[in-house]
Each structure stands twice: as C-alpha cells, then as structure tokens.
C-alpha cells in the first residue's frame, strides 16, 4: 500500500502547533495535542432559517454584502401595491430598518458594491417609470449620484464596485443587449451582451464578471440556460445552466468563477428551489433551498450566503442562510 510519502513526496511533519497557512490535503502531527490532522474540504451544504424581514417584499432590488452583513433596498409587494424605498440591513441574526432610498420607490434595480459602499442603478419605478438615475449607499444613508445611465435598464445584469461597475441587458427595451461601464464619474457604452434576457443573475468585478439565465421575448415568456463571461472588454459564451430559469438570487459580489444561484422561475413552468454552482466554466447542482421562490435577493459567497424576500408565490419575509460546498476544515485523523 502506498504511503503518504509515496503519494506526496514528503514526510508527515511533527509540529507543536497547527500550520498556517495550510493547503487542502496537507497532513501533519500535532505533538502538543498528540493528534494526526488533515486539511479537508467540506462537500456538504446545509440551509438554516434566519431572521424574518420586517415587511414582505419581492422584486429584484439593490442587494450587497455578506452572509452576516447584508443590505437590501427596494422591491415590490403586490398585496399593498407598493414600490418600496425601504432599506433593510442584516447582521446575521435580525433585520433593521435603515434610511430610505431618496428617490421614488422601485424594483428590478441594478446593484454593485458592498453593504457599506454600494451603487443602486435604474430599475422600474412608481407609475411604470424606467429611471436613468443612480444612488450611492455609504452604510448609513443614500446620496443621489450625478451620473446617469444612458438607456433604461430593469432586471439586467450588474456587478462590480460603487466606482467601477457594469450593467447590461434586461428590459424594458425589447432585445436589449446593451452593456454600460461606470468609472466613478460617467457611464460609457461598451461591447454588447451576446443575447438579450431579463431577470438573470450576475456577479463579479468590472474586469471579470458573469451574467446567466433570464427570460427572453420580453416581458419574458421563455427562460434560458445561457451563461456569458465578461473579461473587461467583451462577452464570451460559457457553459449552460442545468435548468432554464430567470429571476433567481445569486451570491452577489462573489468572484465570477465561484458563484451560486438560488431559486427563480422557469417559463413556461413555475417556481424553483434549485441551487446551481458555477466555477467559471461549468455548472453543478447544489442543495436546494427550503422554499421555491423567485425574485429574492442574495449576498455572500459559495460557502456562506444569505437569501431573502421574493415571491413564493406571494411576497415573503423569508430569510435563509446557506453554508456551502468548499468550506475548508481541519480534521483529526482517527481509526474509525
């Protein structure tokens, strides 16, 4: 039988403390605790219920942050016919109401940045308006951004930071494949997306982003599986999702090579509870979320994410936390 030395070309180290940094598959012997240890990757995933939103809300609004520090704004509750200006912040346990958006309430908003330095872009506003304006979030309040996008975007892809962002595709313009880039001062038209869709998911940076799925034949009667990667200059077709869908949540802000998407709708079809994982090339099926829903909002990473709100089919107050694939853990080696 092959030994650790035969496989790795090195002997197991005797150490007085666990090494740092440590790599996957590394084995060592801790002389203080008298234990042999290995660095492994947890491949299971689990969901838990988080704190409920103060008000039921759906619709793609601004979202940014991490599992334990998330900010959301906007959306729509058809039960009260209200396009929201509400901002809510999450601390990993409960939601708090923060300063409202200082422009008219809206849904289907583009978003970039973090929970303390965010950018909300365009959207669908009260009375059916499709605004060109944007606002900045500093973690406490909103400030109107002087730079306007050049065309209307609702339910499009968006990613990057509050000073280096991309927005693309979406509605309400039929066949919209437009892409615009923001440099902190102005929006510039750049190379278009490969095909139009509305209500897809996106993540990444201004120079390395991705945009997937959505519904075509605006206002969206056919869901698609397409994925495209943005390299800072142009879009390149990538691996297709396993299931056609639109209006799903994503791990907003995670690298474009390590993205999870949650739920959504399939047209024709219905609400989905699926989780799919993207590694920058191909998609894999993950652990489904507890409740099928669409138009929810997400933040975090592939190992620690939060999703909230959405329609299931009515607007919900649901918050679910995901502990996912790829969590590095140190395990003690035993004979069992």
Residue 10 has pLDDT above 70, yes or no: no
CA triple 313-316-318, angle to 5 deg: 120
CB 212 within 8 A of CB 261: yes
Q: Look at residue 334 in the predicted model and tell me its pLDDT.
A: 72
Residue 93 has pLDDT above 90, yes or no: yes
> Span 250-264, mean pLDDT?
95
Chain Cα centroid distance, residue 4: 40
CB 228 within 8 A of CB 222: no
In our burial notation (b when 16+ CB lie closer than 10 A, e otherwise), range 212-234 reads bbbbbebebeebbbbbbbbeeee
Comparing 7-21, 43-57, 138-152, which segment has the lowest mean pLDDT?
Answer: 7-21
Verdict on whether the full-model pTM lies above 0.75: yes
CB 10 within 8 A of CB 19: no
Chain Cα centroid distance, residue 192: 22
Closest CA to 122 of 147, 87, 97, 92: 147
CB atoms within 10 A of CB 174: 10
Say if strands 106-107 and 124-125 run parallel, antiparallel, or are unpaired. antiparallel
CB 203 within 8 A of CB 250: yes
Order of all β-strands in the sheet with 271-278: 249-250, 259-265, 271-278, 283-285
Within 13 Å and on the Cβ side, how many CA atoms surround 314?
6
Grade residue 29 by pLDDT with cuts at 50, 70 and 90: confident
pLDDT per residue as tens digits for the range 148-200: 999 989 899 999 999 999 999 988 877 889 999 999 999 999 999 999 999 99
Distances (CA, A) of 13 to 17, 21, 31, 185, 203: 11, 14, 10, 54, 40
Domains of the chain in start order, with CATH, are 4-42 (no CATH), 46-323 (2.120.10.80)
CB 180 within 8 A of CB 188: yes
pLDDT per residue as tens digits for the range 290-308: 999 999 999 999 999 999 9
Residue 5 has pLDDT above 80, yes or no: no
Please name the helix (run of DSSP H) or strand (run of DSSP E) that holds residue 7, with its range, or none: helix 4-8
Residue 70 has pLDDT above 90, yes or no: yes
Q: Look at residue 235 in the predicted model and tell me its pLDDT.
A: 98
């Amino acid at each position: 039988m092959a030994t650790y030395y035969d496989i790795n070309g090195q002997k197991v180290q005797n150490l007085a403390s666990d090494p740092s940094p440590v790599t996957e598959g590394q084995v060592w012997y801790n002389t203080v605790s008298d234990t042999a240890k290995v660095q492994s990757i947890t491949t299971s995933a689990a969901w838990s219920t988080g704190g409920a939103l103060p008000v039921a809300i759906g619709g793609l609004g601004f979202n940014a942050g991490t599992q334990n520090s998330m900010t959301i704004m906007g959306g729509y509750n058809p039960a009260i016919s209200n396009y929201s200006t509400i901002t809510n912040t999450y601390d990993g346990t409960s939601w708090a109401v923060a300063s409202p958006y200082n422009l008219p309430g809206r849904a289907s908003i583009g978003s970039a940045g973090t929970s303390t330095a965010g950018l909300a872009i365009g959207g669908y506003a009260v009375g059916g308006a499709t605004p060109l304006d944007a606002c900045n979030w500093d973690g406490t309040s909103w400030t109107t951004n002087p730079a306007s996008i050049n065309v209307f975007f609702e339910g499009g892809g968006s990613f990057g930071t509050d000073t280096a962002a991309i927005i693309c595709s979406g509605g309400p313009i039929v066949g919209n494949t437009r892409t615009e880039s923001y440099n902190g001062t102005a929006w510039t038209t750049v190379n278009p997306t490969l095909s139009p869709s509305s209500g897809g998911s996106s993540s990444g940076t201004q120079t390395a982003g991705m945009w997937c799925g959505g519904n075509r034949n605006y206002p969206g009667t056919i869901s698609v599986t397409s994925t495209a990667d943005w390299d800072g200059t142009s879009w390149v077709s990538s691996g297709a999702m396993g299931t056609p869908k639109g209006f799903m949540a994503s791990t907003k802000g995670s690298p474009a090579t390590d993205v999870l998407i949650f739920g959504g709708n399939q047209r024709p079809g219905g609400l989905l509870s699926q989780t799919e994982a993207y590694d920058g090339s191909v998609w894999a099926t993950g652990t489904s979320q507890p409740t099928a829903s669409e138009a929810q909002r997400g933040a975090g990473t592939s190992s620690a994410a939060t999703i909230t709100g959405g329609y299931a089919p009515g607007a919900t107050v649901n918050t679910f936390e995901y502990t996912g694939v790829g969590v590095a853990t140190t395990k003690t080696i035993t004979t069992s």
